[in-house]
Amino acid sequence: MKTNLLGYPRIGEKRELKKANEAFWAGKISEKELFEVADTIRAYNWKIQKEAGIDLIPSNDFSFYDQVLDFSFSVNAIPNRFAPISHLSDMELYFALARGYQKDGIDITAMEMTKWFDTNYHYIVPEFYKNQSFKVRYNKALAEYQFAKDKGFETKPVLLGIVTYLLLGKEKENDFDRLDLASSLLVAYKQIVKELVAAGAKTIQIDEPCLALDLCPKAKQTYLSVYEDLRASFPNTEFILTTYFGALADNLSLALSLPFDVLHVDLVRASEQLDDVLNQIDGKKKLSLGVVDGRNIWINDFEKSVTLIQKAQQKIGNERILVSSSCSLLHSPCNLELENNEKVLTPEIKQWLAFAKQKLAEISTIKAIAENSLTESQKSAVAQNKTSNDNRKTSKLIHDTEVKARVASITEKDAHRKGAFVERQAIQQKALNLPLFPTTTIGSFPQTQEVRSWRANFKKGVLPLSEYETLLKEEIEASIRFQEEAGIDVLVHGEFERNDMVEYFGEQLKGYTFTKFGWVQSYGSRCVKPPIIYGDVLRPEPMTVRWSQYAQSLTSLPVKGMLTGPVTILQWSFVRDDQPRSTTCTQIALAIRDEVVDLEKAGIKVIQIDEPAIREGLPLRKKDWEAYYDWAIRAFRISASGVEDSTQIHTHMCYSEFNDMIQAIADMDADVITIECSRSQMELLDVFADFKYPNEIGPGVYDIHSPRVPSVEEMSFLMEKAIKVIPQRNLWINPDCGLKTRHWEETKKALIAMVETAKQLRNKY
Which chain residues interact with ligand GLN by CB under 6 A? 442-444, 495, 501, 562, 610, 612, 652, 654, 737-738, 740
Taking every pair of Cα atoms in the chain, the longest distance, rounded to a whole number of angstroms, is 82
Which CB atom, from 368 or from 653, has the smaller least distance to ligand GLN? 653
The least CB distance from residue 746 to ligand GLN, in Å, is 16
The least CB distance from residue 605 to ligand GLN, in Å, is 18
- In this structure, what are the phi and psi dihedrals at residue 700, rounded to the nearest 5 degrees? -55, 130
Residue 609 binds which entry of Zn ion, ligand GLN, none, CB below 5-8 Å type-dependent: none
Report the SS3 class of residue 275.
Answer: helix
Kindly identify the residues of this chain, within the stretch 688-747, that bind Zn ion according to CB under 5 A.
737
The least CB distance from residue 371 to ligand GLN, in Å, is 48
- Interatomic CA distance for residues 725 and 728, integer angstroms: 9
The β-bridge partners of 444 are 494
Which CB atom, from 536 or from 611, has the smaller least distance to Zn ion? 611
Which CB atom, from 645 or from 676, has the smaller least distance to ligand GLN? 676
Residue 359 binds which entry of Zn ion, ligand GLN, none, CB below 5-8 Å type-dependent: none
Q: Which residues of 233-283 form beta strands (DSSP E)? A: 238-242, 262-266
- In this structure, what are the phi and psi dihedrals at residue 574, rounded to the nearest 5 degrees? -80, 130
The least CB distance from residue 671 to ligand GLN, in Å, is 17
Kindly identify the residues of this chain, within the stretch 736-765, that bind Zn ion according to CB under 5 A.
737
Q: Determine contact, residues 15/516, Cβ cutoff 8 Å.
A: no
Which CB atom, from 58 or from 443, has the smaller least distance to ligand GLN? 443
Residue 518 binds which entry of Zn ion, ligand GLN, none, CB below 5-8 Å type-dependent: none
Q: Determine contact, residues 698/652, Cβ cutoff 8 Å.
A: no
Residue 501 binds which entry of Zn ion, ligand GLN, none, CB below 5-8 Å type-dependent: ligand GLN
User: Angle, nearest 10°, between helix axes 356-371 and 31-51?
Assistant: 30
Cβ neighbours, 10 Å, residue 208:
24
Kindly identify the residues of this chain, within the stretch 622-681, that bind Zn ion according to CB under 5 A.
654
Residues with Cβ within 8 Å of 277's Cβ and at least 6 positions away in sequence, in order, are: 248, 252, 256, 263, 265, 287
Catalytic, 122? Answer no
Residue 719 binds which entry of Zn ion, ligand GLN, none, CB below 5-8 Å type-dependent: none
Q: C-alpha 276: how far from its chain's center?
A: 31
Q: Determine contact, residues 654/676, Cβ cutoff 8 Å.
A: yes
The least CB distance from residue 747 to ligand GLN, in Å, is 12
The least CB distance from residue 564 to Zn ion, in Å, is 11
The least CB distance from residue 430 to ligand GLN, in Å, is 27
Of 122, 264, 705, 743, the active-site residue reads: 705
Q: DSSP secondary-structure letter at 683?
A: T
Q: Determine contact, residues 520/331, Cβ cutoff 8 Å.
A: yes
Residue 742 binds which entry of ligand GLN, Zn ion, none, CB below 5-8 Å type-dependent: none
Which CB atom, from 7 or from 566, has the smaller least distance to ligand GLN? 566
Which CB atom, from 126 or from 738, has the smaller least distance to ligand GLN? 738
Which CB atom, from 352 or from 572, has the smaller least distance to Zn ion? 572
Residue nearest to Zn ion (CB): 654
Which CB atom, from 392 or from 560, has the smaller least distance to ligand GLN? 560
Q: Determine contact, residues 141/160, Cβ cutoff 8 Å.
A: no
Q: DSSP secondary-structure letter at 64?
A: S
The β-bridge partners of 113 are 124
Residue 443 binds which entry of Zn ion, ligand GLN, none, CB below 5-8 Å type-dependent: ligand GLN
- Interatomic CA distance for residues 50 and 104, integer angstroms: 47
User: How many Cα atoms are found within 13 Å in the side-chain-facing hemisphere of 564?
Assistant: 26
Q: Give the alpha-carbon dihedral of 306, 312, 318, 319, to 10 degrees.
A: -140
- In this structure, what are the phi and psi dihedrals at residue 533, rounded to the nearest 5 degrees? -95, 110
Residue 248 binds which entry of Zn ion, ligand GLN, none, CB below 5-8 Å type-dependent: none
Q: C-alpha 293: how far from its chain's center?
A: 17
Question: What letter represents residue 441's amino acid?
Answer: T
The least CB distance from residue 747 to Zn ion, in Å, is 15
Instruction: Indicate which residues carry an active-site annotation.
Output: 705
Interaction site with Zn ion (CB under 5 A): 654, 737
